[in-house]
Structure 1
Amino acid sequence: MALTREQIAQRVARELEDGFYVNLGIGIPTLVANFVPEGIEVMLQSENGLLGMGPYPTKDQVDADMINAGKETVTAATGAAIFSSAESFAMIRGGHVDLTVLGAFEVDQQGNIASWMIPKKLVKGMGGAMDLVAGAKNIICVMTHANKHGESKLLSHCSLPLTGVNCINKIVTDLAVLEVKDGAFHLLERAPGISVDEIISKTQGKLVVPECVPEMVFS
């Protein structure tokens, strides 16, 4: 069975390491904050000028001026720092973010990502994604494996305008976990109940499949 949005975020959270500075993109990536493993501490960074995002606020805690990049209200964790977006982007461009998690429309086998524009649809702009894909040390992409028409979003070449080139290291979809290297997608894990054949059928780009592909385990 395909993973839910929460399960995708839960699987990505296993990639977090103690002491990481992490930027979470809009959408599914924001859910990763709910699944930080016990025993580790990470600092969540927002490009609009907050290092140390806390959990989502209760009704009594809501501060309309305290928002993340997705315009959602947030809280500040103990030890958080608030600064200008210029300083935030200096942190990103300077390579001080250990991990960023982004959504995407398409990713190809070279690690290129298209995440900001679909022709003939309203475009708000690329936002901070172009800086994050260029400056973060490690980038994980989260997405559905195929679009609503059943067409693969893991391609040999992206068809949409690119956000970044040769930058995606790992992908977590609703069907699988894949690593991008050597010009191919390498299948690492599959969602519970999902067959390797289904993943192969929904991956248009070059896919390397090992003899044994373990299922993801969720507690």
Structure 2
Amino acid sequence: MTANYTTAVPVTGRTRDEIACRLAEDLVDGYTVNLGVGIPLAVPNFLPADREIFLHAENGILGMGPYPGLDNEDPDLTDAGKQPVSLNAGAAIVDSATSFAIVRGGHLDVTVLGALQVSEVGDLANWYVPGRNPAVGGAMDLVVGTPEVWVCMEHVDRKGEPKIVPRCTFPLTGLRVVTRIYTDLAVFYLIDGHLVLKECAPGVTCEDVRRNTTATYTEDLFS
């Protein structure tokens, strides 16, 4: 279905931390997961206690832990967003070449990234807003080197414009690479190249999602 879109209608859904928490619920025991900048960096704080998830940061950490707490920060130990992190038992610190060998060698199960736009077929734009300084980073390597690409982001941008769109208008990071989208309003899966609404956030209706999404999608909600 498509939205009869004129302008986005403000809706209160999940907070940024709650988006990260919702995504963390779906990580499988034993997964090795890369976390990009933005909302993904909150994921370590919400990992289920009964699962062992190996977190990778492209700046050279495998086995990254959550924020270490006030006064416990080590300025030489940060995630990809330069925020203080801890290390889990058995963690490794490696150089950039080795870190990207992990990415390019297909050793990750999931990469979790923020996005500026995601198209209805899973195209991703997350590295450049026209008119601003570009920041390529490692996203292009990550989306081609990882079988599952999960995006977590706010559903609309700061101007209230939808970020899940028929076609991306920003420069692309990768074509048909996104497999899931977690936003403050909803959870979408990309199934056989088609966008499927699987879940509405608490307090959010299917109509709320429809009014804030310009992409075409179908509904197959979790029971």
Please give the TM-score of this superposition, normalised by the length of structure 1.
0.92
Q: Mind listing any 5+ residue stretches in structure 1 that lack a counterpart?
A: none
Alignment of 1:108 onto 2:119: yes
Letter in 2 for 1:132: L
Q: Which runs of 4+ in 1 moved over 3 A?
A: none
Q: Is the 8 A contact 1:139 1:170 kept in 2?
A: yes
- Hey, what does 2:23 align to over in structure 1? 12
Instruction: Look up the match of 1:143.
Output: 153
Q: Which has the higher contact order (CA 8 A, sep 6+)?
A: 2
1:62 and 1:74 in contact (8 A); partners too: yes
Distance 1:184 1:146 in 2: 20
1:78-134 Cα distance to aligned partner (Å, 9 max, x none): 1011111100000101110111110000000111100010111122x2101111111
| Aligned equivalent of 2:167 | 157
The 5-angstrom pairing of residues 91-106 of structure 1 reads 91-106=102-117
**Match for residue 213 of structure 2?**
203
The structure 2 residue matched to 1:53, chosen from 58, 64, 69, is 64
State the shift of 1:5 in Å: 0.7
User: Structure 1: how far apart are the matches of 2:129 and 2:176?
Assistant: 20
Equivalent pairs, count: 212
Deviation by residue 1:35-90 (Cα, 9 ceiling, x = unmatched): 11121111111111111112212344322111111111212111011111100000
For 1:30, which of 41, 44, 47 is the aligned residue? 41
Report the counterpart of residue 79 of structure 2 in structure 1.
Answer: 68
Matched-pair identity in %: 45
State whether residues 16 and 154 of structure 2, in contact with CA within 8 Å, keep that contact through their aligned partners in structure 1: no
Query: Quick check: 2:179–2:190 contact (8 Å CA) kept in 1?
Result: yes
One-letter identity of the residue aligned with 1:133: V
Partner in structure 2 of residue 128 of structure 1: 138
Residue 191 of structure 1 and its aligned partner are, at CA, apart by 0.9
User: 1:46 is aligned with what amino acid?
Assistant: A
1:119 paired to 2:120: no
How large is the Cα RMSD of the aligned pairs?
1.5
